[in-house]
Amino acid sequence: MELVKSFKQSKVVKYIFIALIGSIVLAISSKVKIPFYPVPMTMQTLVVLTIGIAFGWKLGLATVALYLFEGLIGLPVFSGTPEKGVGLVYFTGPTMGYLIGFLVTVYFTGKFNYNYNLPETFIKLLFATSFIYLLGMLWLGFLIGWEKPIFKLGAQPFLLAELFKVLIVTLTINQIKKIRKLV
């Protein structure tokens, strides 16, 4: 009985450690700005997709939720922090919908089964990623008003970079899946 209890405790510690490492990688990815057209890109969505595939939906959700919690309590984990504020004030700003979209994206990315069909994988990842932009634009429209060009402001400048990141994850899907066997 003690052995089973010890095994379960070590598994929980392992998952907490993995989620913590994943949230750190996600925070770092938010700070990496790569020159791209028409706007510089961060690597957050690439990491969110990777976390979903590598960790599965449950641990992936826990990891992204931990990342969001870290930002909510004021740690400068989000892109643009601490320069543009931290904590709840930053979280409820223009990017909140996108950040909440990370949860939906990691869920779908972790739930999907991936085979060797790259076009199918690309479509699945594109579908999952679309929730970041759908929720982001919904929140942005609510925040700044629907009379503004929401798509032009909240999605269009990022779409080329997003397609590029989804392509990278698609082409490296088999390597990412190997991580899941270790988790």
Span 44-50, mean pLDDT? 97
Q: Which residue has the higher pLDDT, 19 or 41?
A: 19
Tokens of 169: 């994850």
pLDDT band at 114 (very low <50, low <70, confident <90, very high): very high
The distance of Cα 119 from the centroid of its chain, to the nearest Å, equals: 21
Query: Full-prediction pTM beyond 0.85?
Result: yes
* pLDDT reading at 3 higher than 70: no
Element (H, E) at 36: none
Residue-wise pLDDT for 101-110, tens only, equals 999 999 999 9
* pLDDT reading at 146 higher than 80: yes
* pLDDT reading at 4 higher than 70: no
**What is residue 147's DSSP assignment?**
T
Residue 155 CB partners (closer than 8 Å, separation 6+): 133, 136, 137
Angle between helices 2-31 and 44-72 (to 10 degrees): 110
Cβ neighbour number for residue 175 with a 10 Å cutoff: 11
**What is residue 158's DSSP assignment?**
G
Is residue 140 within 8 Å of 132, Cβ to Cβ?
no
Q: Which domains does the chain have, with CATH numbers?
A: 10-182 (1.10.1760.20)
